[in-house]
Structure 1
Amino acid sequence: MSGTQLTVTLSGGGADDARTVVRALEGTFGAPDERPADGNATVHTATFDGEADAGAADGGGQDAGRLSAPVTVTVQGSPEAVRRASETLTRVFTARDEGASSGDQEQERQLRLEP
């Protein structure tokens, strides 16, 4: 996993809520590999491989939209990518930290986002 790659797993809410969360991260990480689309899925994932322009990174997520239901988000990647994702999500949404775990080169953090 590169220093800027981030995997995001979302549960709760629907596809629209998952897309709202992904949009919030695009200003920091650029476009994901795919946007959540399946309206019948109970878990959505997105992988970000790059980094947005430095100017966009400061304002990431400001126009992401609102959630219709609580969403549990797990972000996994390098400690720097996880930190940046967590900061972006807590700036844009009402968020509660649900815990973190660390490996040798990766970190995982779970957040609960409220509408």
Structure 2
Amino acid sequence: MSATELTLTLSGGSAADARAVVRALEPAFGSARELPADERATIHTATFEHDAAGPSRDGGAGGAAGRLSGAVTVTVQGAPEAVAKARERLNHAFTAQDQGSVSGDQEQEWQLLLEP
């Protein structure tokens, strides 16, 4: 299976909060294409390449995610296995509440509310 994208959309927090969420996923997905940096933005995005056939870079449920300054809404979109892995890591790294999901033929979207 070829690499697929995992896309995060984050709202309700600062660029530092968005970077903390991205860093929580890096042990499993590697580095994002770009780290959120614009402090004036109200919505931050990050994209990872996920290779389901390749070796997992998952170093455990922990990680250097950091703390959030406030609640952050995160929408994770991609292949079902990538979304499930991201959701699991975020649930371990932060206090998270599931806000619902939508599934398509080959993609899934899941929304989580992360709290400090």
Q: Normalising by structure 1, report the TM-score.
A: 0.91
What are the Cα deviations for residues 1-47 of structure 1, in whole angstroms up to 9, with x where unaligned?
Answer: x5542000000110000000000011110001100000000000000
Deviation at 1:113, TM superposition (A): 0.1
The residue identity in structure 1 corresponding to 2:16 is: D
The residue identity in structure 1 corresponding to 2:67 is: R
User: How many angstroms apart in 2 are the aligned matches of 1:6 and 1:34?
Assistant: 13
List, as ranges, runs of 4+ consecutive aligned residues in structure 1 with deviation greater than 6 Å.
Answer: none
User: How many angstroms apart in 2 are the aligned matches of 1:93 and 1:21?
Assistant: 9
Q: Structure 2, unaligned stretches of length 5 or more?
A: none
Seq. identity, %: 62
Alignment of 1:38-77 (within 5 A): 38-50=38-50, 54=56, 56-59=57-60, 61-77=62-78
Is the Cα–Cα contact under 8 Å of residues 4 and 29 in structure 1 kept in the other structure?
no
User: How many angstroms apart in 1 are the aligned matches of 2:32 and 2:85?
Assistant: 15
> How many residue pairs get matched?
113
Is the Cα–Cα contact under 8 Å of residues 97 and 110 in structure 1 kept in the other structure?
yes
Q: Which residue is equivalent to 1:95?
A: 96
The residue identity in structure 2 corresponding to 1:71 is: V
> Alpha carbon RMSD of aligned pairs, Å?
1.7
The residue identity in structure 1 corresponding to 2:41 is: A
Is the Cα–Cα contact under 8 Å of residues 61 and 92 in structure 2 kept in the other structure?
no
User: How many angstroms apart in 2 are the aligned matches of 1:100 and 1:75?
Assistant: 9
Does residue 80 (structure 1) correspond to residue 81 (structure 2)? The answer is yes
User: How many angstroms apart in 2 are the aligned matches of 1:90 and 1:110?
Assistant: 12
What are the Cα deviations for residues 64-90 of structure 1, in whole angstroms up to 9, with x where unaligned?
Answer: 111010000000000000000000000
User: How many angstroms apart in 2 are the aligned matches of 1:69 and 1:34?
Assistant: 22
Q: Structure 1, unaligned stretches of length 5 or more?
A: none
